[in-house]
Amino acid sequence: MLQLVVTEITEASPQVRTLTLARPDRASLPSFTPGSHLVLECGPSVNAYSLLGDSRMPSAYTISVLKLGAGRGGSRWLHERSPGDMVTVRPPRSMFPPMQKARKHLLIAGGIGVTPILSHLRAAARWGHQTEVLYSHRPGHGTHLDELRQLAPESLRCFTRRSEFHAALQESLGRQPIGTHLYCCGPESFMDTVCRSAEEFGWPEGRIHTERFGADALDPGAPFEVVLRDSQRTVTVEPGRSLLEVLEETGISVPNLCRQGFCGECRIPVTAGTPLHRDHYLEDQEKAADDSLMCCVSRAQTDSLEVPL
Amino acid sequence: MNIDLASDLASDLAPDLVRTFPFPFPQDIYRYSTNVERAGAAVETPAGQWGESVVHIDSEYAHELGERQAILGRDPSRMQVLPHMRASAWDAMLTIMQALALAHPEQMVLEREGEGETFLWTNRLLGIEQRFSYGDEDTLPDEPLTFIGAQVQEDIALLDQREGQLFVDAGLVTFAADWSFGFDVGMSFLEIHGPVPRVHQTGVIARAQKFLMRLQADAPHRRTNWSLTVGRRLDVSTETYPEWGPDRTRILTVDDDAFGAEVHLRVEVQHLVRLPESGSVMFLIRTYLLPLEAIAGIEPWRARLHAVLAELPEDMADYKGFIAYRDRAVQWLSARAPQEG
Ligand code: FES
């Protein structure tokens, strides 16, 4: 966890604010892979935002936040921050990296989805990679246009009309050299349209990349109870906590190594209830037997489980 | 526990090599597993501790770096960076410099000059002071991986992640144990682990690859691997087999004292690091060698190694390359058990 201070806020477009976050002592922050996102604790919710700025030992992180009416209010909370406020931030996560072997990078953004594209473009400029950018946004709502023009002066095309964007998309998808990778970020329906078009043009799946937030972190899950048969106790595993953590707090130590569902160390038997398996260790038949689970990641499908601990 | 190391050890073995030896067996039985854990926490052993940093310098520093240069001189294929891995090589260099500076702040310093691309690297152990501009090969005396590879005892392999797989597309590997970097470069992670008995059936390699593909930059992990080897030779790669292969049978003909001095437990500590900028996965592979006679000086280690070797299935001992002298090693260790009463 990082505790960062808001050092600057600018209006990027009528509904988008760009926040700059730095360490209180201004020491450099961890480097990140272009296209990474930052997970922020924003009052009522936990939200992910793409990092816009320089990726190597940056002195600050910048994110752009679109104010959403719906949702749990995280974007509204961020819009209410002012310089000097502190924000709790989890370190950058990479789920949308530029492919190093790509011969060319075709970057397609819709609306606020332009944010990860900026850090991709910065990296491409540094290493001399070939890029092409299509950016679709509502009239008057383009964000970061100046930076985009600077980073991709030759190849940037912006669209404010759907039909023009679609024509350009078709044309562009049809003419890319083999070995081009496509990166797309924007609203779900926008990404679906772009991906479908690419598939129709015969783009292989491995060359199409989308940024869909939250796919990496395991779902926090629903709360469940665990009856510890031998210790004659019952514990509750809250969302976002693991059974392993709860057992450790109860004073029951379980061998463990990776705490991510890979190593197989933390397997424990289950004597009643149905586990919700989320590990990569157990074989399918073992999962189907439902008589054991990896307590570092797995949860329960039933309201409660019983374990002989 | 109070252990008098001096009494049992070969006189030329520096004490820190025992104190920081990463003895790899948590149990009396060894099987392949995805034995990964978070890096950075020190592990206490009966002789000392290991593992507090991602890179480790010990009293073999100068010797091993010299050895590496000699091997690279004879066989330049041990260092390769496929063209698309250029950014990864820079990323690896900077990441290793940061790790060195963190672990050895007195000797190693990385300074950034302003907000720009220029850095100053100081390695007082080797008397290096190098100003460089990130991404510009002309500002370094060598390619970045070669430059930093000459300053760490770790071997370095860089894996590119694409199309749901990892590929070993760059590296500087001079101390490979029974594999060949020059031959394997460009292969996928799964291909490289092709010949290991038992590991595919148990799904260990596929799980390891999945794990690596989810590795994040702020969470380096580590694992150990081990074997037995004859002598303190670090380069037991496939290329040099004619030089070291015959030792595996010659060792059966030596007397007990020579056996204990020559046969070594060889342990690799592998640090698995997601490089923050390029997104490549870096393996830092550090090789440690401790002769059986030094292991016998630490009774819990002697007993544990004895148990592990005695139980190890044939195919695993064969793959690990010591089937010919496994029984002799078991006998040797057993004969060193403390007398009852
Ligand atoms: S601790 Fe590794 S699978 Fe749970």
- Taking CB atoms and an 8 Å cutoff, what residues of chain A touch B280? 100
Distance CA A79, CA A68 (A): 10
Q: With helix as H, strand as E and coil as C, how does B128-147 read?
A: EEEEEECCCHHHCCCCHHHH
Confidence of residue A48 (pLDDT cuts 50, 70, 90): confident
pLDDT at residue B4, rounded to an integer: 42
Distance CA A229, CA A271 (A): 9
> Is B88–A127 a contact, with Cβ atoms under 8 angstroms apart?
no
Six-digit token string for B106: 């007195």
Atom of ligand 1 nearest to the CA of A261: 3
pLDDT at residue B184, rounded to an integer: 79
DSSP A15: T
Closest CA to A217 of B214, B279, B46, B31: B214
Distance CA A290, CA A274 (A): 6
A226, containing H or E segment:
strand A224-228
Beta-bridge partner residues of A228: A233, A307
Six-digit token string for A208: 């199409």
Nearest to A97 among B115, B218, B279 (CB): B279
Distance CA B203, CA B207 (A): 6
* C-alpha B223 to ligand 1 mean position (Å): 14
* C-alpha A1 to ligand 1 mean position (Å): 22
pLDDT at residue A72, rounded to an integer: 59
Tell me if chain A has a CB within 8 Å of the CB of B87: yes
Distance CA B338, CA B222 (A): 34
Contacts of B77 (CB under 8 A, 6+ apart): B181, B182
**Helix B326-335, helix B299-311: angle, nearest 10:** 150
Nearest to B279 among A94, A280, A281 (CB): A94
Task: Give tens-digit pLDDT for B220-279.
Answer: 999 999 999 999 989 888 778 888 888 988 999 999 999 999 999 999 999 999 999 999
Nearest to B115 among A59, A99, A265 (CB): A59
pLDDT at residue B190, rounded to an integer: 83
Instruction: Report the chain B residue with the minimal C-alpha distance to residue A33.
Output: B277
How high is the mean pLDDT of chain B? 91
A247 Cβ closer than 6 Å to some ligand 1 atom: no
Nearest to B276 among A31, A260, A265 (CB): A31
Tell me if chain A has a CB within 8 Å of the CB of B214: yes
Calculated CA dihedral for residues B207, B208, B214, B218, nearest 10 degrees: 150
Pocket test for ligand 1, best of A266, A287, A293 (most atoms within 8 A of CB): A266
pLDDT of B140 over the 50 cut: yes
pLDDT of B6 over the 50 cut: no
Q: With helix as H, strand as E and coil as C, how does chain B read?
A: CCCCHHHHCCCCCCHHHHHCCCCCCCCCCCCCCCCCEECCCCEEECCEEECCCCCCCCCCHHHHHHHHHHHHHHCHHHEEECHHHHHHHHHHHHHHHHHHHHHCCCCEEEEECCCCCEEEEEECCCCEEEEEECCCHHHCCCCHHHHHHCCCCCEEEEEEEECCEEEEEEEECCCCECCCHHHHCCCEHHHHCCCCCCCCCCCHHHHHHHHHHHCCCCCCEEEEEEEEEECCCCCECHHHHHHHCCHHHHHHHCCHHHHHHHEEEEEEEEEEEECCCCCCEEEEEEEEEEEHHHHCCCHHHHHHHHHHHHHCCHHHHHHCCCHHHHHHHHHHHHHCCCCCC
Task: Give tens-digit pLDDT for B183-212.
Answer: 778 888 888 776 666 766 667 888 888 889
CA-based torsion, B123, B126, B128, B133: positive or negative: negative
pLDDT of B287 over the 90 cut: yes
Q: Which of A100, A207, A258 to mutate to test the interface with B (most CBs of B within 10 A)?
A: A100
Radius of gyration of chain A (CA): 23
- Taking CB atoms and an 8 Å cutoff, what residues of chain A touch B120? none
Confidence of residue B7 (pLDDT cuts 50, 70, 90): very low
> Is B112–A57 a contact, with Cβ atoms under 8 angstroms apart?
yes
Pocket test for ligand 1, best of A246, A247, A248, A257 (most atoms within 8 A of CB): A257
Task: Give tens-digit pLDDT for A100-157.
Answer: 999 999 999 999 999 999 999 999 999 999 999 999 999 999 999 999 999 999 999 9
Contacts of B11 (CB under 8 A, 6+ apart): none
* C-alpha A262 to ligand 1 mean position (Å): 6
Residues of B serving a catalytic function are 223
Contact of A181 with A173, CB cutoff 8 Å: no
Taking the mean position of all CA atoms in its chain, how far away is CA A124? 21
A56 CA to chain B: closest CA distance, Å? 7
B98 CA to chain A: closest CA distance, Å? 11
Distance CA B169, CA B1 (A): 46
Q: Which of B85, B169, B207, B224 to mutate to test the interface with A (most CBs of A within 10 A)?
A: B207
pLDDT of B335 over the 70 cut: yes
Q: What amino acid is encoded at B105 in this protein?
A: P
pLDDT of B163 over the 50 cut: yes
- Taking CB atoms and an 8 Å cutoff, what residues of chain A touch B164? 206
Task: Give tens-digit pLDDT for A148-197.
Answer: 999 999 999 999 999 999 999 999 999 999 999 999 999 888 999 999 99
Contact of B39 with B83, CB cutoff 8 Å: no
A248 CA to chain B: closest CA distance, Å? 17
Atom of ligand 1 nearest to the CA of A279: 3
Distance CA B113, CA B13 (A): 42
Six-digit token string for B249: 């049978």
pTM for the model stands at: 0.88
pLDDT at residue B195, rounded to an integer: 64
pLDDT at residue B3, rounded to an integer: 41
Nearest to B276 among A30, A263, A265 (CB): A30
Contact of A290 with A270, CB cutoff 8 Å: yes
Query: Distances in Å between the alpha carbon of B152 and those of A205, B56, B195?
Result: 40, 8, 29
Atom of ligand 1 nearest to the CA of A281: 3
Beta-bridge partner residues of A156: A133
Classify the complex by whether its ipTM is higher than 0.90, answering yes or no. no
> Is A260–B214 a contact, with Cβ atoms under 8 angstroms apart?
yes
A257 Cβ closer than 6 Å to some ligand 1 atom: yes
pLDDT at residue A71, rounded to an integer: 56
Q: Which of residues 265-324 of B touch A (CB under 8 A)?
A: 274, 276-280
pLDDT of A215 over the 50 cut: no
Contact of A155 with A132, CB cutoff 8 Å: yes
Identify the residue whose tokens are 């330049």: B76
Instruction: Report the chain A residue with the minimal C-alpha distance to residue B34.
Output: A263
Contact of B157 with B179, CB cutoff 8 Å: no
Closest CA to A138 of A175, A165, A116: A165
Beta-bridge partner residues of A21: A6, A61
A254 Cβ closer than 6 Å to some ligand 1 atom: no
Strands B221-230 and A208-210, by their bridges, are unpaired
Distance CA B4, CA B8 (A): 8
- Among protein residues, the one with the nearest Cα to ligand 1's atom 3 is A261
> Is A258–B277 a contact, with Cβ atoms under 8 angstroms apart?
no
pLDDT of A61 over the 60 cut: yes
> Environment class of residue A265 by beta-carbon count within 10 Å: exposed (0-12), middle (13-18) or buried (19+)?
buried
Strands A180-185 and A104-110, by their bridges, are parallel
Confidence of residue B177 (pLDDT cuts 50, 70, 90): confident
Q: Which of A32, A56, A95, A211 to mutate to test the interface with B (most CBs of B within 10 A)?
A: A56
> Is A100–B221 a contact, with Cβ atoms under 8 angstroms apart?
no
